[in-house]
Amino acid sequence: MTPEDMDLLAALGRARAGLAVDVDKTYVVESRLAPLARREGFDSIEALIAALRAKREERLIWAVVEALTFNETSFFRDREVFTHLRDTVLPTLSKARRDQPIRIWSAACSTGQEVYSLAMAAGESREVEPGAKFEFFGSDLSERCLEKAQSGLYTQFEIQRGLPITQLVKHFANQDDTWEISPRIRQSVRWKRINLLSDLSSLGRFDVILLRHVLAGIDASLHGRLIESLAARLADDGVLVLSPDDLLTGAAATLFEASDQAGVFARRPADQAEAAA
């Protein structure tokens, strides 16, 4: 690929999905586009990019943008966050909601491990009120990731990253090297393709929103707007969960660190938000 190709891809990723594509990391981009080029029937990445330039076809543009997203994930990634949600956040919410469902949204769910981990953890919490109801939502920009997430099928390698063996035997069944999550867990999650840069106001409110290991791949100038947009989807006593090292760029007036657990933020009451702004 030429530097001009990289510039084109970076510009597309930035414009369509706010992606921060490092134009110096040609090998990273090539490794992501090669499978797409093959699937689309092109002889090479160069042929794919030529078609992209020539046709400007929306479907192909989105396929390329989706391929540029970073999908790395694993079960119970950063385990302490799940422990904190299970033992502190969800019990508090279950007392406040009583018979209303607790709505949990994995906002860039990739292949589903995050939201499934939380569904498993919620079912095991000893502190959650008996009878508490949960609704889980997983969204991602990538259709391919969502398809995999929805299938609930994982490789032997994937189920050995982060998933304790006791959870594996409890919630999964295998067919040779393929492991399938139980229908009960799988059917507790609803899936939707969502571009987080789009208008999210029709989505309703959530009690827990997870946006972990995402901001690092998003153009920094968009972080404030994105966090504000998600904060607006939070219930008054809901929490937004970022990665431990993410910063609240530009959204500190709306949110504050809710606990000792790094990355867990709550909404400021409206009067405080005005004072802080």
Partner 1 sequence: MKTCLVVDDSRVIRKVARRVLEDIGFEIAEAADGMEALAWCRAAMPDAVLLDWNMPVMNGIEFLRQLRNEPGGDTPTVVFCTVENDVDHIRAALEAGANEYIMKPFDGEIIAAKFAEAGLL
Binding site for partner 1 (CB under 8 A): 156-157, 160-162, 164-166, 168-169, 172-174, 176-177
Q: Which two tokens stand for residue 117?
A: 């981990």
Q: How far is the CB of 153 from partner 1 (least distance, A)?
A: 15
Q: Which two tokens stand for residue 114?
A: 């995050």
Residue closer to partner 1 by CB (options 158, 207) is 158
Q: How far is the CB of 201 from partner 1 (least distance, A)?
A: 39
Three-state secondary structure call for residue 138: strand
Q: How far is the CB of 161 from partner 1 (least distance, A)?
A: 6
- Nearest-angstrom CA–CA distance, 87 and 91: 6
Residue closer to partner 1 by CB (options 162, 224) is 162
Q: How far is the CB of 177 from partner 1 (least distance, A)?
A: 7
Residue closer to partner 1 by CB (options 166, 201) is 166
Residue closer to partner 1 by CB (options 26, 178) is 178
* 269 alpha carbon, distance to own chain's centre: 26
- Nearest-angstrom CA–CA distance, 95 and 127: 10
What string of DSSP letters covers 71-137?
----TTSSHHHHHHIIIIIHHHHHHHHTTSPEEEEETT-TTSHHHHHHHHHHHH-SSSPTT--EEEE
Q: How far is the CB of 173 from partner 1 (least distance, A)?
A: 6
Residue closer to partner 1 by CB (options 161, 225) is 161
